[in-house]
Amino acid sequence: MTDRGTSALVLGGGGITGIAWELGILHGLAEVGIDLTEADTVVGTSAGSVVGAQLGSGLSLADLYASQLEPPDAELGGRLSRIAALKLVPPYVLPGSGRDKLARVGRVARAAHAPGSIDREGVIRSRLPVHDWPDRDLRITAVDTESGEFTVFTRDSGVDLVSAVAASCAVPTVWPPVEIAGRTYMDGGMRSTANVDVAKGAERVVVLAPLPRSVSRKASIRSQMERVSPRAWSVITPDAEALAAFGRNLLDPAKRRVAAETGLRQSRDLADQVRGVWEA
């Protein structure tokens, strides 16, 4: 048997609609014999951290997909208002290193919400079928709000899975930073919407990126993929129909079902492309 090398599944951020779309893509591909959950490494950022944790729950992709079709009765939504979004622009455009910029974003995050002011961990806990780290290489990204340091949580970090996912999903000005061991953390997507470079070393990489644009060229998916330099790779982004289904508010639970359904539909068009990478 030919050694095809290690594989990585990278799950990017994209709000509630991103979670649903990613599960639709994964379920659709699995139905035609392409099981991306068999990846040696799973990298999750923001919405992708939720999906990554769900994949290690023992539930089938069919069940996870079905959960996205249910009415969002108890789902707590949010909205990144235009005014709040504008507050995130100056930290990135002012001079400084990438870490300096992220520290400035962190100040905006802390000023908007005190850590713990909203029970986000309770919401995240309700989204995860299990609350213990899976017995696999799951990497969850976040950013320290004070230092701007990029952080990758794993099962060896000594951090509760729910806390790690909540930190990765803590969108500045929408949700409060999450306190872990005396530090506060925010959304890993503030550094890059997918953080593809966390998969460095993998020979085959498939990226699901609900939000393909990043805050800088260095943080872009293409630039990071060049640094990972896998033998085979594919980046999957929402098509026009999926983007229309998401609407303007990616945090709207009412859009969850249609986002999942468009992911399932889109997977049919991607099967040959992804199979070529996964079986390379």
User: What beta strand segments (E) does 163-253 contain?
Assistant: 178-180, 183-187, 204-208, 232-236
Which residues are catalytic, by number? Answer: 46, 187
* H or E element in which residue 41 lies: strand 41-45
DSSP string, 122-140: HHHHHH-S--S--SSEEEE
Nearest to 54 by CA among 149, 125, 123: 125
Burial class (CB in 10 A: 0-12, 13-18, 19+), 3: exposed
Nearest to 275 by CA among 232, 230, 237: 232
Cα separation, 120 vs 125, in Å, equals: 8
